Amino acid sequence: MKKLAATYLLLTLLITLVTPVHASVKMQATIDQNIHVVFIFEDINSTIYSEAKQTFNITTIPKAIIKSLEQQGLTRARWGYDPEQEIVFNDSARSMRVEFYLAGSDIINFTFNKTTMNRIYHVQTEWRKFHVNLAQNFSLDFAQYFDVLVANWTYSDPERTYHYECTEPDSLDPSCKIVLPRTATNVHATEDTITFEVPPLPEDILLNSPFLILGALIVVIIIAFLYRRLRK
């Protein structure tokens, strides 16, 4: 009987020690001329949630991302956020929502298709691989969660999305979705770079219009004519 009780206590202790903190982490990155990033943390351990409310703020994740990029030698990146969309805590669900924007040529840049004048976007996704502390004794390693190359993620053509769910044995269930513009065509991913085309913006059409050049020449001619008249 004593052996049975001791065995039960030992098993209970082992289960307690190996049971990790339970939480749900979802990330969505919506691509336009910049990247709108949203992190949603749900069902966070109550102790960690209480500490996160005191130490976690709107700058925590983007600063960790920029630091990680700099360590990779990628310095042309910046971030920002909408002051009206501060970090949102939900005490009843022990959840929090963080959203911000990423930009810079080391993250997103474009060239032009010389035939169609479509914009060809090149989106670098290395920024998703970073490490951040949710609390003093609990950290999240997204470099580990999302280490699979984006080229190997699930792509949905109708939705224009790349999606990945980490399947490592952990109580966390990290998932990431990258949402491309609805007008995106010729979509493909090479390793961690997503490339796609979108129709030209109105200013692109204007800047490449022959009428703009013709108009500029007419203005120059008129100015020259007036200048000569005034000198007489």
Asked if 149 contacts 164 with a C-beta cutoff of 8 angstroms, the reply is: no
Given this model, what pLDDT does residue 138 score? 87
Residues 51 and 130 in one domain: yes
Q: Is residue 15 included in any domain, yes or no?
A: no
pLDDT, position 211:
46
Q: Note whether residue 17 is domain-resident.
A: no
106 and 211, same domain (yes or no):
no
pLDDT digits (tens, 9 = 90+) for 34-55: 999 999 999 999 999 999 999 9
Does 229 lie in the same domain as 151? Answer: no
Which parts of the chain sit beneath pLDDT 50? 1-2, 4-19, 211-212, 214
Q: How large a percentage of the chain has pLDDT more than 90?
A: 64
Task: Give the structural domain span for 213.
Answer: 204-232
User: Which tokens go with 211?
Assistant: 């009428």
CA neighbor of 65 nearest in space, from 27, 32, 95, 97: 27
The per-residue pLDDT for range 173-202, each reduced to its tens digit, is 899 999 999 999 999 999 999 999 999 866
CA distance 51 to 101: 25
Is the same domain home to 169 and 228?
Answer: no
